[in-house]
Structure 1
Amino acid sequence: MTTSHRTAAPRHGGARSAARSRRRKRGWARRTLVIALSLLVLAAAGVGWLYLKLGGDISAFDADGLSSDRPDASSNGQNVLVIGSDARTGNNRALGGGKKGDIGRSDTAFLLHVYADHKHALAVSVPRDALVDIPACRLPDGSWTAPRHHAMFNSAFSVGETAQGNPACTQNTVEKLTGVRVDHTVVVDFQGFAALTEVVGGVRVCLPQDVYEKDLNPHRTERGKRIFAKGEQDVSGQRALDYVRLRHGIGDGSDIGRIKRQQAFVAALLKKVKSDGLTPGKLLPLTDAAVGAMTVDPGLDSADKLLSFVLSLKDIDLRNTKFVTVPWRYEGARVAIVEPDADALWAALREDRTIDGEDAGGKSTGSPSPSPSPEPVSGAGVEVAVYNGTTVTGLAAQGAQALKDHGFTVTGTATASSQDLAATRIRYGPGEEDHARTVARLFPGAELRSGSAPGISVTLGRSYADDPSAASGESSDVPAKVPSEVADDARSAADSPCSRLSYG
């Protein structure tokens, strides 16, 4: 028995050793689980803090100011209106935002189209001096303004004369101008812009010459100190603001030249953010800096919505991120938008086509779907006067008959004061732009020009004389492609800050 007992003892001691080993393993497993859960809790707490922090800071404008007559929503990409505001509220005064009590103004604006493939993007700048139609907009007391014709684009932001500005009115105006539904609107003021440039550690810009204080403020009597040296340099904070606001002393001092510099700046900013990476460590300070002085539409008024939108942009290729200005020409001291070139650009956005004609809709390839048949032109209730702007006999009568065939009322025909017109010209009075566009569908390539006199007139040019059969009602005044000069003038976010940059 003794032998038997001595023989069993080692076996019993081995069992205790195995049990201790199992307990040690279970202890390590529990500790590992506790550590993992702790890390998850900390991570969740960090995300929760981020959401709480951002959710508390995000300011949204009132959606009641948006028009009830909006373009149809589209599944083709997203459209984001970005407005740079020199609002006079908060710390903006210290950064050059103006006098206390003054009204907020729009300093710059562009419509960013993010294509459905999330690899392409196009930003279209609208000059602040561009003459546009401003639709009815809501005032602070809840009443609505009457539509305005031939008004400066940036005046839409000042409707209501509040210090914060009127983003909803600017969005209504952009939708009226483009026929494109704006999915989101973001307003960034001086404080938010300055903070953003500091967080990324500065943005690379290019100057063609030395710039002095008088160039930034033409009301100065002396040249003042040099604020920028010629060449490439990094700017942030106040210096970044000075760069994007600089207008006088470079080139022709026009807003168009400043737009070119602003596009180069935004391109360089995107390049810097992309090079740093959208990691949580980078995203947190970047987002925190941006939202503190940013106003958004209700669709971006929470942290999860905003972060989801920002992260949806991470795969966009810098080479496929382009910047253009809406086709324009000078009209006295102001800027007129050139048609039908601008319409071709807006049509490309609606159809998710790049300015180079590429389909960036992200759809699977296959047999192309047939193009829908064009809607017939109906001129019921529209009165038009027709003039012959060429030496071709009987052209006005020919054009008049084409209009009558489609239901238009022709109020008269005559010979124009000049008979050397190359392209047909359509003039329209206040509130008659939509009818003028219907007329233009019969005359492909016609120039649309607004005026102060009421009524619509068509002055036929050599283009119609060469192809009078074009007025069949089956054509459109919108070119099938974006004009090559628009595409050729585009800036890529991958470009050097000194390349493809016109200073007016």
Structure 2
Amino acid sequence: MTTSQQATPPRHRRRVEPPRQGGPRGSRTARRRKHGPARIAFAIVVSVLVLGTAGLGWIYLKLNGNIDTFAADGVSGERPQAGSSKGKNVLVIGSDARTGGNSALGGGDKDDIGRSDTAFLLHVYADQKHAVAVSVPRDTLVTIPPCKLPDGSWTKTRTNTMFNEAYSVGQTAKGNPACTQNTVEKLTGLRVDHTVVVDFKGFAELTDVVGGVNVCLPQDVYQGDLNPNRTTRGKVLFHKGEQEVSGQKALDYVRIRHGIGDGSDIGRIKRQQAFVASLIQKVKSDGLTPTKLLPLADAGTKSMTVAPGLGTANKLISFAMSLENIDLHNTKFVTIPWRYEGSRVAIVQPDTDALWAALRADQTIDGKDAGGKKSGTAATASVSPSVDEQVSGKGIDVAVYNGTTASGLGARAAATLDDHDFTVTGTANASTQDHATTVIEYGPGQKPQAQSVAKLFPGARLHSATSAGINLILGQSYATDDRSAESTAVPTEVADDARSADGDLCSNLSYG
């Protein structure tokens, strides 16, 4: 991506792709969807486990033995800074890896590569009373940044590539979660705090343990709807209306794509969101007893592969406890703004960037400020007093560019830099005003100076450039730091299509 100025001041530096650093995972196109559902349910369950059964250390040991982690060395070094949003962001990936007995449930060759058809970013707001899961369709055309391969080398950036191909980078049986995480951070400008992968087998066991999940079908569904390669329609798998499913039946439900609506992945996402919502309802309403808790937590941890940040029972429990106060109505499900581009899905702008900006500002789907306690005035909310006082820009020259359509940002950023003794060499508009995230470009040997600038602009990305100098290109994330409801509003179409975890089970189940 190249940034240039239109006004007078500084010279524009060409932006190069972020350095390497990706991760152990990979993905491509696939046809299955493992449900991240299990993830949220498990979080709620374990939180209750901790609160209600203190002192059972043996449970921790058992859970620790279940948890698998993926290596962190594949996570990009060029990522949004911690604090890009006040809330927490959890990437949930559904994997149809055929290893560990999964091939018996999902079909396919046990030696096939790991694939992912289901992914959503769960944003837990800073007030810890609201959450939203944003689904990314598998066929969405995105930029996949450099990712690490099994031999230690790194791929080159790929543009206009289907989102689920990130998980297949490296063509390994277990997939490449780190590459999907890198791709989501590139797409959203939000730092992913935790990544969780859920497989077929663990998901099926989880639905068995909770005693089944209520679902709804808009019409009868046949074997041919699950497998369009059949020459006949086959027998009925599901009858129209409400019913309870578990195990293989639950997997069949979340995988159904054809024969409902327009047969698209978008319609399947709607039904999967309804399934996750129903699963959460079941877990929260079950009145969990100690005899139910261990099997549920056991099934949950067996189904997961996590980043090292959640690699122990203690860490998982700590995160889970942060979710206990989120009620069903404040748990929302949405899909990124999209449109068809041939047989693929294209991201709709500026609506998608507006959605990410709302999450950065902790603005809920229905327009509420869920940022928790704030310190300082609105104009300075993005810089904490402790960090603010420590930043010194003496001897550092910075050129400022406004990469948004919001007026006055350059002057505002220049004033902030001046207050910390940076030398602002000029302000100007960037060549394009569609930057979602603030970017700091730096020349050879100038990364430490760029990092000093970044302390004043939480969430900014650092990009190395070939020519000397530091350019600050302001993005929408900076434009919305004032947290005004108007500038951080979730696009109407996204809000109108949102599902609440307490919503009507039989509504909004297909597309087309």
TM-score (norm 2): 0.70
For 1:23-422, what aligned pairs fall within 5 Å after superposition? Answer: 47-74=56-83, 76-277=86-287, 280-363=290-373, 369-370=378-379, 378=401, 406=428
Could you tell me how far apart the structure 1 residues matched to 2:329 and 2:429 are? 48
The aligned residue for residue 510 of structure 2 is 502
TM-superposed deviation, 1:294: 1.1
Instruction: Evaluate the alpha carbon distance shift between residue 352 and residue 372 of structure 1 in structure 2; reply closer, same or farther with a 3 A threshold.
Output: closer
| Range with greater deviation from structure 2 (233-242 or 69-78) | 69-78
CA contact (8 A) 1:276 1:282 kept: no
Could you tell me how far apart the structure 1 residues matched to 2:198 and 2:352 are? 26
Where 1:318 maps in the other structure, the secondary structure is coil
* Residues 340-390 of structure 1, C-alpha deviations (whole Å, 9 max, x = no match): 1111111111111112221112216x99533679x996389xxxxxxxxxx
Could you tell me how far apart the structure 2 residues matched to 1:427 and 1:214 are? 48
Kindly provide the amino acid, as one letter, of the partner of residue 378 in structure 1. Y
CA contact (8 A) 1:261 1:503 kept: no
Are 2:501 and 1:493 aligned?
A: yes
CA contact (8 A) 1:119 1:317 kept: yes
The aligned residue for residue 418 of structure 1 is none
Where 1:324 maps in the other structure, the secondary structure is strand
TM-superposed deviation, 1:334: 0.3
CA contact (8 A) 1:87 1:97 kept: no
CA contact (8 A) 1:136 1:144 kept: yes
Where 1:267 maps in the other structure, the secondary structure is helix
Kindly provide the amino acid, as one letter, of the partner of residue 401 in structure 2. S
Where 2:379 maps in the other structure, the secondary structure is coil
Could you tell me how far apart the structure 2 residues matched to 1:495 and 1:220 are? 35
Kindly provide the amino acid, as one letter, of the partner of residue 131 in structure 2. A
More helix by share: 1
CA contact (8 A) 2:217 2:509 kept: no
Identity across aligned pairs (percent)? 70
Q: Please, which runs of 5 or more residues in structure 2 have no aligned partner?
A: 1-52, 383-397, 404-426, 442-477, 481-485
TM-superposed deviation, 1:167: 0.3
Kindly provide the amino acid, as one letter, of the partner of residue 61 in structure 1. F
Instruction: Evaluate the alpha carbon distance shift between residue 230 and residue 138 of structure 1 in structure 2; reply closer, same or farther with a 3 A threshold.
Output: same
Could you tell me how far apart the structure 1 residues matched to 2:353 and 2:136 are? 13
Instruction: Evaluate the alpha carbon distance shift between residue 332 and residue 203 of structure 1 in structure 2; reply closer, same or farther with a 3 A threshold.
Output: same
Where 1:157 maps in the other structure, the secondary structure is coil
Where 2:216 maps in the other structure, the secondary structure is strand
Kindly provide the amino acid, as one letter, of the partner of residue 251 in structure 2. L
Could you tell me how far apart the structure 2 residues matched to 1:407 and 1:76 are? 28
CA contact (8 A) 1:157 1:166 kept: yes
Where 2:56 maps in the other structure, the secondary structure is helix
CA contact (8 A) 2:330 2:500 kept: yes
Could you tell me how far apart the structure 2 residues matched to 1:498 and 1:224 are? 25
Could you tell me how far apart the structure 1 residues matched to 2:230 and 2:282 are? 34
Q: In the comparison of the two structures, how many residue pairs are matched? A: 383
Q: Please, which runs of 5 or more residues in structure 1 have no aligned partner?
A: 1-42, 381-404, 410-425, 439-473
* Residues 45-69 of structure 1, C-alpha deviations (whole Å, 9 max, x = no match): x722111111111000000010001
CA contact (8 A) 1:84 1:187 kept: yes
Where 2:94 maps in the other structure, the secondary structure is strand
Could you tell me how far apart the structure 2 residues matched to 1:475 and 1:112 are? 23
Could you tell me how far apart the structure 2 residues matched to 1:51 and 1:358 are? 37
CA contact (8 A) 1:378 1:406 kept: yes
* Residues 203-233 of structure 1, C-alpha deviations (whole Å, 9 max, x = no match): 1100011111000000000111111011000
Kindly provide the amino acid, as one letter, of the partner of residue 170 in structure 1. T
| Range with greater deviation from structure 2 (208-217 or 269-278) | 269-278
Could you tell me how far apart the structure 2 residues matched to 1:502 and 1:274 are? 26
CA contact (8 A) 2:80 2:185 kept: yes
CA contact (8 A) 1:378 1:408 kept: yes
TM-superposed deviation, 1:301: 0.6
TM-score (norm 1): 0.71
Kindly provide the amino acid, as one letter, of the partner of residue 144 in structure 2. I
CA contact (8 A) 2:189 2:436 kept: no
Kindly provide the amino acid, as one letter, of the partner of residue 56 in structure 2. V
CA contact (8 A) 1:111 1:123 kept: yes
| Root-mean-square deviation over aligned CA pairs | 3.1
Could you tell me how far apart the structure 2 residues matched to 1:198 and 1:358 are? 37
The aligned residue for residue 413 of structure 2 is none
CA contact (8 A) 2:202 2:304 kept: yes
TM-superposed deviation, 1:280: 3.9
Kindly provide the amino acid, as one letter, of the partner of residue 242 in structure 1. D
* Residues 88-136 of structure 1, C-alpha deviations (whole Å, 9 max, x = no match): 1011111024212110100200000111111110000000000000000
* Residues 289-340 of structure 1, C-alpha deviations (whole Å, 9 max, x = no match): 0111310010111111112222321211100000000000111110001111
Instruction: Evaluate the alpha carbon distance shift between residue 278 and residue 359 of structure 1 in structure 2; reply closer, same or farther with a 3 A threshold.
Output: farther
TM-superposed deviation, 1:480: 3.5
